[in-house]
Amino acid sequence: MERCKVSGEEIISNPRWVFRNPAKQYSTRIKRIGRNILFIWVDSIEPVILEHFEGDLVMKVLENSGLKGKPFHVIWNLNRVKGIAYPYKRGIVNFLYNSQPPLHSAVFYNIIPEFLNTAESIQAIMPSFMKLHLAKDYKNALQIIHNFEFGNSTAVKGDENDEYEELKNKFIEAAARIGWLNMLGQKIHLPPPNHELYPFFSALSLMQEDLAGLEAFYKKKKRNLWSIYAEKTKSMDARISFIEDEKQRLLVLFEKEKSELGKKLSFRKSESRQIGTVPNNHSYTLKELMLDIIDPAINPENKKRILEICDTLLETEQNEVIIGLPLTSTDSAFLTLLQRKHPNLNKRELKICLLIKLNYDNTDIADYYGISKRGMESIRYRMHKKIGLKKNQSLKNHLTALAVKLS
């Protein structure tokens, strides 16, 4: 069991009570002396600048020691500390004013000259219910804690009649509150103008005014930047909304074109199937003709039949040229009859009549020609008038009747 060589109290240590700097330049370690004194030191070969405040480590030690929410004291050996970084300062302020642990008193000792002003600044910003003292060595530090515990603080008071010391402390306190706590509106009590320390306090007051002006400037600049950001965000949101609407419009257009292309493809497939059957019909007819021709004994009836077949083939070929499609003999005969009855129909109208007879509707035929359905309806209306049908007569029924007459 380890005991304090000065007070004889038990010293408690824990391997987990350590904070290792991420850069591995130093470690901060804590032990507990007696019931409620935390002894803190920095483990390093050379003096270092502290970067990360060890507030979490202190709270862990308090919790492990059953001191959470209970009064405690701190003794800190600073023989390896030459400075603290700005984040460390903010950590101290946050720990003292936001966490507000029940820290009754703290004592710094073994303070190297480089760190003395910083130690005095920390002393100046301590809340009124906490006390920080600066001691020469460990024995003196422990004595200060014990005196504070038993209500005897006379040992830590300085010479209250020393005017210079008092003004120096006020100067440090004002500088620390401006720099550490950002108290830019705090009034600085200036000594008389003829006092030797007046220029220092005056310079500090002017610096406070400059910092307040600078802060106001940056706050205004920040507001302007936020305003610009809000405008750009609004503009970007409107742009995104427009793009989304355009995307939906294009999707609808795409689906429409996809549907129309599907209809055209269906029409082409149907047309291809029809075309595919035509050569077989012609081929069969030509084979019959060849058999009849090579027969030496051709009677008049066969000759007549051959001539009819030839006429049919010639007629079909002519009709194919007119409408640009391969035709069956039945379709060709229908077109021939249609031209005889209605010679005023043009090539496109003849082809449309054939498609109507083959049961293609307005949408299919419009897709085939690449026109709108309304455009197709206009063409049918003109054809209706050309053929001489009445309003109550159907063009499709008229064409169907012609096909029936052929059969």
Q: Check residue 154 and give its pLDDT.
A: 46
> pLDDT tens digit string along 125-138?
888 788 899 999 99
Q: Check residue 150 and give its pLDDT.
A: 73
Task: Kindly state the percentage of the chain with pLDDT values over 90.
Answer: 33
Angle, helices 347-357/362-369, rounded to nearest 10 degrees:
140
Kindly tell me the burial class for residue 338, based on how many C-beta atoms sit within 10 Å of its own C-beta (0-12, 13-18, 19 or more): buried
pLDDT(122) > 80 = yes
Q: How much is the average pLDDT of 147-173? A: 67
Q: Which residue has the tokens 């005889």?
A: 340
Tell me, which fold does domain 2-157 have in CATH?
Transcription Regulator spoIIAA (3.30.750)
Q: How much is the average pLDDT of 245-261? A: 87
> pLDDT tens digit string along 290-330?
555 555 566 667 666 666 666 677 677 777 777 767 778 78
Q: Check residue 29 and give its pLDDT.
A: 96
Domain extents in the chain: 2-157, 295-406
User: What confidence category does residue 332 fall into, taking pLDDT thresholds of 50, 70 and 90?
Assistant: confident
Higher pLDDT, 194 or 74: 74
The rounded distance, in Å, linking the Cα atoms of 18 and 44 is 13
Q: What backbone phi and psi angles, to 5 degrees, belong to 343?
A: -65, -15
Is 367:263 a contact under the CB 8 Å cutoff?
yes
Long-range CB contact pairs, 174-180, < 8 A, 24+: 174/201, 174/204, 175/121, 175/124, 175/204, 176/120, 176/121, 176/122, 176/124, 176/125, 177/124, 177/125, 178/204, 178/207, 178/208, 178/211, 179/121, 180/89, 180/92, 180/93, 180/121, 180/125
pLDDT(287) > 60 = no
Q: Check residue 285 and give its pLDDT.
A: 59
- Least confident piece of the model among 47-51, 202-206, 235-239, 399-403: 202-206
Q: How far apart are the first and last CA of the chain?
A: 123
- Least confident piece of the model among 65-69, 156-160, 186-190: 156-160
pLDDT(261) > 50 = yes
Q: Check residue 198 and give its pLDDT.
A: 79
Is 100:92 a contact under the CB 8 Å cutoff?
no
Q: Check residue 139 and give its pLDDT.
A: 94
Hey, is 371 helix, strand or coil? coil
User: What confidence category does residue 340 fall into, taking pLDDT thresholds of 50, 70 and 90?
Assistant: confident
How is residue 404 written in tokens? Answer: 């029936």
Is 134:123 a contact under the CB 8 Å cutoff?
yes
How is residue 359 written in tokens? Answer: 């049961």
**Cβ-based neighbours of 106, under 8 Å, separated by 6 or more:** 73, 74, 75, 76, 126, 130, 131, 132, 133
Q: Check residue 284 and give its pLDDT.
A: 55
User: What confidence category does residue 242 fall into, taking pLDDT thresholds of 50, 70 and 90?
Assistant: very high
Is 386:349 a contact under the CB 8 Å cutoff?
yes
The rounded distance, in Å, linking the Cα atoms of 261 and 268 is 10
